[in-house]
């Protein structure tokens, strides 16, 4: 069984001074961390990578600096569940369809798409693809509260819970 911390849109330092301590504690507790983009700085990336004990999978956000050479999308398998991590950059109106299409292109309809960008918490199914958006771990605008998801993965079974600050 694996515990997966899922965060996105930290935006440090442009919209937040730093990562909330309760989020940092969750990253330390996790077996794996997923970040769906918009670290906003090398400093934020390095801090999260350290908290994740180098067990970090992430994607490039539209606000990430050029020096962060991150993939636009990447797939990983944890205990029988495939996750596709992307940012979801583009219009919020077509976010769901775009992330579902990226998930199918990177893995399959059985994969779980993880994306950020909108700063809105999402756990839904679109065209047979489960989509997760953890919101913003730092309550970066337009979010109104700090949020993240924690997933428990066990032999192909996935349970997802929302944590708020």
Per-residue pLDDT reduced to its tens digit, 122-146:
999 999 999 999 999 999 999 999 9
Cα 153 versus chain centre, distance? 16
Strands ordered across the beta sheet of 2-7: 56-58, 32-35, 2-7, 147-154, 157-164
Fold for 2-164, please state it: Purple Acid Phosphatase; chain A, domain 2 (3.60.21)
The tens digit of pLDDT for each residue in 2-19 reads 999 999 999 999 998 899
Domain ranges of the chain: 2-164
pLDDT in tens, 52-109: 998 999 999 999 998 999 999 999 999 999 999 999 999 999 999 999 999 999 997 7
């Amino acid at each position: 069984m694996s515990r997966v911390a899922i965060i996105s849109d930290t935006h440090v330092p442009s919209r937040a001074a730093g990562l909330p301590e309760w989020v940092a504690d969750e990253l330390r507790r996790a077996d794996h961390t997923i970040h769906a983009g918009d670290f906003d700085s090398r400093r934020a990336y390095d801090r999260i990578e350290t908290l994740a004990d180098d067990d970090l999978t992430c994607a490039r956000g539209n606000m990430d600096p050029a020096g962060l050479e991150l993939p636009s999308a990447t797939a990983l398998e944890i205990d029988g569940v495939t996750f596709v991590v992307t940012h979801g950059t583009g219009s919020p109106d077509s976010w769901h369809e775009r992330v579902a299409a990226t998930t199918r292109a990177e893995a399959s309809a059985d994969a779980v798409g993880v994306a950020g960008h909108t700063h809105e918490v999402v756990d839904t199914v679109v065209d047979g693809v489960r989509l997760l958006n953890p919101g913003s771990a730092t309550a970066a605008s337009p979010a109104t509260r700090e949020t993240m998801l924690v997933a428990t993965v066990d032999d192909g079974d996935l349970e997802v819970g929302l944590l708020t600050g």
